[in-house]
Amino acid sequence: MLAVFMGLQHNFYLFNKASMRLIYKFLMLIIVLSMKHKFRLSIAPITTITP
């Protein structure tokens, strides 16, 4: 019983690690996209003024 529990815990740990990496990548992607969007918004007035 203990061995099964340890195995489940190990699998859960691996799954948790993988999902955390996935969530981290997803968050980084969102941050990068939002930063690009903000950058584009801050640059937009300049580009409209200068032809």
DSSP state letter for 10: H
Say if pTM beats, i.e. exceeds, 0.85. Answer: no
Roughly how many angstroms between the first and final C-alpha of the chain, as a whole number? 73
- Domain residue extents for the chain: 1-46
Structure token pair of residue 23: 């969530």
Q: How confident is the model at residue 16 (pLDDT cuts 50, 70, 90)?
A: confident
Mean pLDDT of all residues belonging to the chain = 79
What residue type is assigned to position 41 of the chain? L
Residue predicted with more confidence, 44 or 14: 14
Q: CA–CA separation, 43 vs 12, rounded Å?
A: 46
% pLDDT > 70, the chain: 80
